[in-house]
Amino acid sequence: MLVPLAFVAFWPSPMDQPVQNQLASVLQFLHRRGIPGWFNYQFVEASGNVALFIPLGFISSLAFREKQWWRIGAFGLLISGCMELGQLLFLHSRFASPLDLVTNCFGTVLGALLATAALTKIEAHHLSAADL
């Protein structure tokens, strides 16, 4: 899971750079059709950061079932912090951002909570099947 994150984090240019014009066109099209203005590039970028870290939280929560969700979130924050520090120090065309830390951590926590909910549902299903 860390390899794809490193690939995204240390790509020499912003990952969305090749599609920025198309994304802007799609957003303009959506806004003309009534989608609210808050659904903008910043929202799409932040949502992408959240989505990027959901698998890390999900897999980490399954791998370390005894860890609480907030510890998994702290792990995501650590990984995100290393990525942002690497961008700051080594990639001049990339931008380290505190908002990325927040959204990445949120994605990790969301993934951990989803894994916990899934495990709880599976365990409840197994317990109810045992009662038959």
- SS3 letters across the chain: CHHHHHHHHCCCCCCCHHHHHHHHHHHHHHHHCCCCCCCCHHHHHHHHHHHHHHHHHHHHHHHCCCCCHHHHHHHHHHHHHHHHHHHHHHCCCCCCCHHHHHHHHHHHHHHHHHHHHHHHHHHHHHHHHHCC
Question: Would you state the pLDDT for residue 80?
Answer: 97
Residue 132 CA to residue 125 CA, distance in Å, equals 11
Question: Would you state the pLDDT for residue 43?
Answer: 96
Whole-model pTM: value is 0.86
Question: Would you state the pLDDT for residue 93?
Answer: 87
Question: Would you state the pLDDT for residue 95?
Answer: 86
Question: Would you state the pLDDT for residue 131?
Answer: 63
Question: Would you state the pLDDT for residue 130?
Answer: 61
**pLDDT < 70 positions in the chain:** 127-132
* Average of per-residue pLDDT values in the chain: 91
Question: Would you state the pLDDT for residue 129?
Answer: 62
